[in-house]
Amino acid sequence: MLNLSDRIQGGMWGLLVGDALGVPYEFHPAKRIPAYEAIEMDPPAGYDRTYPWLKAGTWSDDGAQALCLLDSLLANGQFNLNDFANRIVSWKDNGLWAVDRHVFDCGIQTASAIDKLRSGSSPTRSGFVNPDGKGNGSLMRVLPLALWHQGQDEELIEDAHLQSVVTHGHVTNQVCCALYCLWARRLLQGEGTEAAYQNAVTVLREHYRDRPEYHNALETEICPDKEPESNGSGYVVSTLHAARVALREQSYEAVVKKAISLGNDTDTNSAVAGGLAGIREGMEAIPSRWIGMMRGKDLAEPLIARLLDGRV
């Protein structure tokens, strides 16, 4: 029987390992992803890896921004919008929580939002720099909020919205982050994958009952009752659906490999699905060969230990 510590550690390391595993395959279409058994931290010999100079086991912007969020939550004891925004800027400018302090990947909308923050924009407005932007840059990092949060569902939903607004203000992004956090919370409580998802949808529908813009995004764009489909793209709904598709697999390894097999935004899809799989399966389910290859463990381990101290 998994305990809370197993699930929290599994969630954080599931995100970080999934991210690092997907990095070499990023931007490749599905037809150019290796076969299941060949998807590893080190791709097959001769594979055209995305960052050929990058050492295997290095997390990308997904992992670094997730650690920024976790660090901010632990430092403040609550979600502090200004503090989190400052940490995101420090990640981009100074490599905060990046392995070797080296930032090698940053989404277009995130970079534009950070430019706005540097110029003095409020973090409540910076994520609206591209009003129609629906990339997955806020979904990829939100999991620590669900692992840390001990408030009511309504509070978790609103905090998930706020952390998105820093870089991705569109309502669809906010709703995806809220749904993902509720789904993660139910998995953390030991519910099965599909039951946890359906419970999250039910709670969100009730929360949005008098908020038509949010309700419409949930029902007409995310379409939570439809069979999930994903082409692996960086569109936030595609990434959420990629997680739903991948979580049908029965092991952590199979989940992240399924997410990567979709191609395109492989690191984010694997991080988002992998975080949930890590909660569901626990820390011991993440292959030791991958944990052993992870770089930056000296950065992440003390932060995750602080998270555990406050939860278990």
Tell whether 45 is covered by a domain.
no
Single-letter amino acid, residue 159: D
Q: Is the whole-model pTM more than 0.95? A: yes
Binding residues: 60-62, 265, 267-268
Per-residue pLDDT of 181-223, as tens digits, reads 999 999 999 999 999 999 999 999 999 999 999 999 999 999 9
Question: What rounded mean pLDDT belongs to the chain?
Answer: 98
Tell whether 51 is covered by a domain.
no
Binding residues for Mg(2+): 60-62, 265, 267-268
Tell whether 98 is covered by a domain.
yes
- At 283, the pLDDT band (50, 70, 90 cuts) reads very high
Residue % of the chain over a pLDDT of 90: 99
Tell whether 133 is covered by a domain.
yes
Tell whether 44 is covered by a domain.
no
Assess whether pLDDT exceeds 90 at residue 1.
no
Tell whether 85 is covered by a domain.
yes
Q: Work out the average pLDDT over 144-155.
A: 98
Tell whether 162 is covered by a domain.
yes
Tell whether 49 is covered by a domain.
no
What domain count does the chain have? 1
Alpha-carbon gap, residue 275 to 217, rounded angstroms: 24
Q: Work out the average pLDDT over 14-36.
A: 98
Residue 73's CATH number: 1.10.4080.10
Tell me the residue range of the domain where 266 lies. 4-38+56-311
